[in-house]
Structure 1
Amino acid sequence: MKVVIIGGAGGIGSSAAFNLLSAQGTYEIVLVDTRPNMITSHTMDLENALGLGTTADTVRGGVPEDALDADVVVLSAAVPLRLNSSRSVFLADNARIVEECLRPVREAGADFGGVVLMLTNPVDPLLTWVHRQGWLPRERLIGYTLNDSLRLRTGVAFALGVPAKDVGAWMLGEHGEGQVPLYSRITVGGEPVVLTEAQRAAAEEYVDTWYTKHVALDSGRTSTWTTGLGTARLIEALNTGSGTVVPASVVLDGEYGVHGASLTVPVELRPEGVRRIVAWDLPPEELAGMSRAAANVEAAASELTAHCATRLS
């Protein structure tokens, strides 16, 4: 499987490449970025890691046109992280980057047969906006949002005093303010668990404040390690088509009562993209959360469309 990582010189892009070295399957990894010295530095380093018996065949630097025959195009390019209270502040600036980075595959039209895995934020309105351009079907547009579920699992683990790896927890909806925690599906060691009000409040406090606390550190870095490993796991799910159910943002067409907006839902993946969206019966309050999240994404995507129309007029 050929994986082209656009933004490969950055922390998340290079972390994804590193973690992909030990993922199940065989990969040709191509790093693309506007900083050639950083790409050379990463590839020189990663080439030596291949000698440890990793699953990757090759790691090299490349150019945007390498995406044309890629099986997966990972888009992690973005404006630098700065102090903020919401990912939505990056919408217009990152839309310009997304537009430019995807230009080669968009212009290739039907000749491009790969999957776009978007990491650039705010991922849901950006993915919705790209889909509305009409050049790629929704099953081949996937947004990375696994971190939300991982943070919920961590928050629940802290509240219960158990290892996070034993917790099963899912965060659907919008990657951001419109996230929908599925407290109806919490498990520990595979067994259903109902949180007390205090435990739920503790888990919510962890999840709801994680982003603002992290950005307030002004470290200049984002969730490099988690996103890198999570991206590798999603690519592994695409490559193997194992049927593992994972959370990802995809454009919905009636699923969970949502039409035309991209939200996180449980999906099964295959090399061609989304095999199916898994339909879970959610209680009314969680379904209502999905509707509110869809309204948020719709508003942002519409704002972006109007902004781009003004800019081009």
Structure 2
Amino acid sequence: MKVVIIGGAGGIGSSAAFNLLSAQGTYEIVLVDTRPNMITSHTMDLENALGLGATADTVRGGTPEDALDADVVVLSAAVPLRLNSSRSVFLADNARIVNECLRPLREAGADFGGLVLMLTNPVDPLLTWVHRQGWLPRERLIGYTLNDSLRLRTGIAFALGVPPKDVDAWMLGEHGEGQVPLYSRVRVGGQPVVLTDEQRTAAEEYVDTWYSKHVALDSGRTSTWTTGLGTARLIEAIATGSGTLVPASVVLDGEYGVHGTSLTVPVELGPEGVRRIAAWDLPEEEAAGMVRAADRVEAGAADLTDQAVAQPS
């Protein structure tokens, strides 16, 4: 499987490449970026890791044209992180970057047969906007949002005093303020658990403040390690078609009462993209949260539609 990482010189892109070295499956990894010296630095380093028995065939630098015959194009290019209160502040600037990075694929039209895995934020309105350009079907557009569920699992683990790996919990909805925690489906050690009000408050405090606390550090870095590993796991799910359900942002067509907007839902992935969206029956509060999240994402996508950047070249 050929995986092209656009933005491969950055922390998340290079972390995804590193973690992909040990993922299940065999990969040709190509790093693309506007900083060729950094690409060379990463590839010189990563190609030596192949000697440790990594599963990848090759790791090399490339050009945007490498994406044309890729099985998966990972898009992690973005403007530099700065102090902010919401991922939405990056919408217009990152839309311009996404527009330019995807230009070769858009112009190739039907000749491009791969998947686009979007990491650039705010992922939901960007994915909605790209889909509305009409050149790629929704099952081949996937947004990375696994971190939301991981943070919910960590917050619940801290509240309960258990290891995070023992917690199974899902965060659906928007990758941002419109996130929808599914407290109705929390399991610990495989067993259903109902959180007390105090435990739920503690978990929510962890989840709701994680992003603002991290950005306030002004470290200049994003969730490099988590996103890199999570991206590799999603690509592994695509390559193997294991049938495992994972959270990802995809454009919905009536699922969860949402039409034409991208939100995080439980999906099954395979080499052809989104194989199935799991239709879970949600309690009224959680179902209403999905509709509210869709309204938020729709507002962001509509803003892009009114800008020049939204017009494909």
Structure 2 CA distance for aligned equivalents of residues 8 and 214 of structure 1: 22
Is 1:31 aligned with 2:31?
yes
Indicate conservation of the 8 Å contact 2:304/2:310, yes or no.
no
1:311 CA displacement: 8.5
- Which deviations, in whole Å up to 9, do the C-alpha atoms of 1:3-42 show, x marking residues without a partner? 0000000000000000000000000000000000000000
Q: What 5-or-longer segments of structure 1 have no aligned partner?
A: none
Where do 1:34-183 residues align within 5 Å? Answer: 34-183=34-183
State the one-letter code of the partner of 1:19. N
- Answering whether residue 294 of structure 2 is matched by residue 294 of structure 1, we say yes
Aligned partners of 1:224, 1:109: CA distance in 2, in Å? 32
The RMSD of aligned alpha carbons is 1.0
Structure 1 length-normalised TM: 0.99
- Write out per-residue CA displacement over residues 61-108 of structure 1, whole angstroms, 9 at most, x where no aligned residue: 000000000000000000000000000000000000000000001100
Letter in 1 for 2:245: V
Equivalent residue, structure 1, for 2:247 = 247
SS in 1 for 2:57: strand
- The one-letter code matched in structure 2 to 1:261 is T
* Whole-Å separation in 2 of the counterparts to 1:310 and 1:134: 12
Q: Are the counterparts in 1 of residues 263 and 294 from structure 2 also a CA contact under 8 Å?
A: yes
Partner of 2:307: 307
Q: How far has the Cα of 1:308 moved from its partner?
A: 2.4
TM-score (norm 2): 0.99
Q: Which amino acid aligns with 2:230?
A: G
Distance 1:299 1:287 in 2: 19
- 1:154 CA drift (Å): 0.1
Equivalent position amino acid for 1:232 in 2: A
Q: Indicate the residue corresponding to 1:215 in structure 2.
A: 215
By how many angstroms is 1:310 displaced? 8.8
> How big is the shift at 1:255?
0.1
Are the structure 2 counterparts of residues 178 and 310 from structure 1 closer, same or farther at C-alpha, using a change threshold of 3 Å?
closer
Would you say the 8 A contact 2:95–2:309 is kept in 1? no
Q: Which amino acid aligns with 2:301?
A: A
The equivalent of 1:282 in structure 2 is 282
Point out where structure 2 has 5 or more consecutive residues left out of the alignment.
none
Using the alignment, how far apart are the partners of 2:307 and 2:92 within structure 1? 8
Query: CA 1:140/1:29 → structure 2, altered by over 3 Å: closer, same or farther?
Result: same
Change (3 A) 1:57 1:155: same
Please tell me whether residue 194 in structure 1 is matched to residue 168 in structure 2. no
Structure 2: distance between partners of 1:85 and 1:165: 29
Tell me which residue corresponds to 1:234. 234
Match of 2:15 in 1: 15
CA distance in structure 1 between the partners assigned to 2:199 and 2:165 by the alignment: 18
Match of 2:2 in 1: 2
Shift of 1:229: 0.1
Q: Give me the whole-angstrom Cα distance separating, in 2, the residues matched to 1:273 and 1:298.
A: 23
Helix, strand or coil for the counterpart of 2:307?
helix
What code does the residue aligned with 1:266 have? Answer: P
Q: Output the CA distance in 2 between the equivalents of 1:148 and 1:117.
A: 17
CA deviation map 1:209-267 (0-9, x unaligned): 00000000000000000000000000000000000000000000000000000000000
Q: Tell me the distance in 1 between the aligned counterparts of 2:115 and 2:266.
A: 18
Give the whole-Å Cα distance in 1 for the aligned partners of 2:172 and 2:217: 27
Cα distance between partner residues in 2 of 1:108 and 1:33: 20
Secondary structure at 2:306 match in 1: helix
Percent identity over the alignment?
88
Distance 1:128 1:113 in 2: 19
Secondary structure, aligned partner of 1:73:
strand
Cα separation, partners in 2 of 1:118 and 1:309, compared to 1, 3 Å: closer
Superposition deviation, residue 307 in structure 1: 1.6
- Say which SS state the counterpart of residue 56 (structure 1) adopts: coil
Q: Deviations over 1:278-299 (max 9, x none)?
A: 0000000000000000000000
- Code of the residue aligned with 1:97 in structure 2: it is I
